[in-house]
Structure 1
Amino acid sequence: MAMLFFQVIYFLERTSDRKRLLYLILLVSVILYNITSGLFPDQNIPIPVMLQTILAYLFAFGTSMYFVYYYYKAFNLRRLKFFVTFGSLIFLFVPFLFLFVVPYYITGDLAQSRKLGVVIPFLYGIAFIGATTRAFIYKFREREYSDRIKFQLVISAYIALLCWVALPLIVFFGDFQVLEHSVTNSGFMVMTLVYIRSSIHQARREYDLLLDRVHSLEKLIEVNCGKYNLTSRETEIARLIMKGHPYKIVASDLGISEKTVARHVSNIFSKVSATNKVELINKLEQRDVQVH
């Protein structure tokens, strides 16, 4: 729950972060799966036991369906689109509805209904492994990756996938809740590590882009200062003024008096034809400055 709380806070700070939103949905679905499968069925809850059981399996199948979608997005495997859209509906939701819910409602035999309901999802999982292999081959052909990145992607992808595929098999042979939860949560933790790695990579890339922009802006300011014929001292002062430093701090940093700073600033404004700091900043950060 602590993880959910922090993920929600981070997402609210940056609602445009689609990756975090997708992971947040996965986190919520896994939490709901763990709660419902651990809580239901319970004779003390004023809900029919059959309905409790169906709800528990609904969240299990729902989590599996979303896992497929998240897996597709997390590893950017575009070749899995059919498996993610139509495949999950046909081979996960339909079996749940017609091979689990209907037989269970009619016969009340949970063990037999459970076996019927997971056969097709298991076969779908096997097919999904093959499709994933082809998708990775295509992905690596389409774009160059280092051997280390390839290894990390493939290992993490298949560990998470095998955990997911193993669930129908476990359910088929019995009601092993502890094992089911362990396998499910192991797969989730792998996907969490993939998400963390992706977030770190994205943060580093954004930081590098920010540094590039800062360096580019600094070069632009330096060029524009030259176009306005500012001296080296005036350029220094202009940079500090643009950063919002008061005259006192500028004087202290450069080892000169405030009066000297004020005189330089007056000269800067005169050369740049600026009447205030905002106008000065706009002119020195402007591209393709034409000085007449």
Structure 2
Amino acid sequence: MNISELQMHWLALAFIILTAIFLVLEVYDVLRRPKERWQWWNLVLVALLFFFNVTNGNFPDYSSAVSLKLQYLLSDGSSYLVGAYFPFYFYKMYELDKLRFHAVYGAPVFVLLPFLVFEVVLYNINGQLTIDRQWGVMVPAVYGLVALMAIVKAIIDRFQETSERSPFIEALAVWLAVLFWEMLCAFPFFTLPQWLKLVVGNLGLSVVTIFLIVKHIRRSRREFELFTSPEAGSAPELAYLEHCVTFGLTKTETEVALLVRKGWTNRKIADHLFRTEGTIKNHLKNIFKKTEVATRSELIHLLEHGPLGSSTTET
């Protein structure tokens, strides 16, 4: 059923509104923590999904002033862009170094290049959209299966030697969502309604996005509890926070520094902040670099007494 005055199925509008809300929340997160790169990876993913919903929800529209060739280019291209982004997303978001080839070379060559050859170049030459679509999707479909196997293997290898359950479950949830996306490769071979394509494309990713939003809410609540706890208002704690600002620590680095002061291990901090131990180690490395210390005890002493108090003690 299409919405009156619009050549759009009501499901398409629902998905557009849903992803628009997700997009606003992700933009808000990035503005709050612009130096946290992992926030940007989520933002790009949601932005691509929003672009997919807008183009596939509105096109093809035979009454539009936009040419049909451009409409198909945009709607199909958005699908390929999301598919090509997945390996890079896993590579950066979950620190899966084994996926570097797929993220940097594999996806552009085996996903984007076939789209450019068949649906951009050949379609503009011969005008045979159905045939060009079928030929163009074959290589990405096969490569998608290879990439899926590589991704799940990298996830298992990355987390099997640790007890980091939250990042592991999150990574597997996103991987399962990609399985739904792989099903889109079958659409060029059948005459199926556009709304079904939207459902398949959104089903997994919408669940994952909701999962990420829930994680964001839980993290914000813990962050609020951390900074509004009774000891947070004490003079030593306030001085500690002021010195974190003095040394230019980001909000997340300040959270890590506060938990280090409590004697928490990297693993406990990672579970509390919903990050991997590797990410916490990187934050600590940046903190040590900014404060020019080498150990946790030196860091705590420096942030408790400040640079002046630290230098006085050393002399």
Corresponding position: 1:81 with 2:100:
yes
Which structure carries more relative contact order (alpha carbon 8 Å, separation 6+)?
2
CA gap 1:195/1:72 in 2 versus in 1, 3 angstroms: farther
**1:45-124 correspondence runs (5 A):** 45-124=64-143
| TM-score of the aligned structures, taking structure 2 as reference length | 0.61
Q: Contact between 2:55 and 2:75, CA under 8 Å: does it hold in 1? A: yes
Higher alpha-carbon deviation: 18-27 or 167-176: 167-176
CA distance in 1, matches of 2:200, 2:81: 16
- The reply on whether 1:169 has 2:182 as its aligned counterpart is no
* 8 Å Cα contact 1:101-1:113 kept in structure 2: no
Give the SS at the match of 2:62.
coil
Quote the sequence identity (%). 30
State the match for 2:208 in structure 1.
191
Report the equivalent of 1:179: 196
Tell me the distance in 1 between the aligned counterparts of 2:221 and 2:73. Answer: 45
Q: Does the C-alpha gap of structure 1 residues 69 and 202 become closer, same or farther in structure 2, counting only changes over 3 Å? A: farther
Q: Residue by residue, what CA displacement relative to the aligned partner does 1:42-81 show, whole Å, maximum 9, x if unpaired?
A: 2322232112211221222122222332233333322111
Unaligned runs of 5+ in 2: 1-19, 241-303
The SS at the match of 1:105 is: helix
Matched, 1:38 2:57: yes
Instruction: Work out whether residues 72 and 81 of structure 1, in 8 Å CA contact, stay in contact via their aligned partners in 2.
Output: yes
- Tell me, yes or no, if the aligned pair for 2:99 and 2:154 is still in contact at 8 Å: yes
Change (3 A) 1:110 1:66: same
The 1:104–1:2 alpha-carbon spacing in structure 2 relative to 1, beyond 3 Å, is same
**How much does 1:131 deviate?**
0.6
When Rg is computed on C-alpha atoms for both structures, the one with the higher figure is 1
1:98-121: CA deviation from partner (whole Å, max 9, x where unpaired):
122223222212211111111111
Kept after mapping to 2: 8 A contact 1:160/1:188: yes
SS class of match (1:42)? coil
1:5 — aligned with what?
A: 24
Which whole-Å CA distance do the structure 1 matches of 2:168 and 2:177 have between them? Answer: 14
Partner of 1:16: 35
Task: Indicate if the aligned counterparts of 2:102 and 2:147 stay in contact, CA closer than 8 A.
Answer: yes
User: Is the Cα–Cα contact under 8 Å of residues 167 and 183 in structure 1 kept in the other structure?
Assistant: yes
1:144 alignment partner in structure 2: 162
2:145 is matched with which residue: 126, 142, 153?
126
CA distance in 2, matches of 1:59, 1:150: 28
CA change 1:11–1:129 in 2 (3 A) is closer
Contact 1:79 1:135 in 2 (8 A): yes
Change in Cα spacing, 1:8 to 1:136, as seen in structure 2 (3 Å) is closer
CA distance in 2, matches of 1:11, 1:119: 36
- Gap change, CA 1:133 and 1:63, over 3 Å in 2: closer
Letter aligned with residue 37 of structure 2: R
Distance 1:59 1:100 in 2: 12
Q: How far apart, CA to CA, are the structure 1 residues paired with 2:94 and 2:211?
A: 9
Question: In the alignment, does 2:81 pair up with 1:29?
Answer: no
Q: Which runs of 5+ in 1 are unaligned?
A: 222-280
User: Residue 154 of structure 1: CA displacement?
Assistant: 6.0
Give the superposed CA RMSD.
3.5
Change (3 A) 1:9 1:133: closer
- CA contact 2:133–2:188 (8 Å) conserved in 1: yes
Q: Distance in 1 between the 2:92 and 2:221 partners?
A: 20
- Give the whole-Å Cα distance in 2 for the aligned partners of 1:72 and 1:200: 24
Task: Identify if the C-alpha distance between structure 1 residues 137 and 20 changes in structure 2 by more than 3 Å, giving closer, same or farther.
Answer: closer
Aligned residues: 228
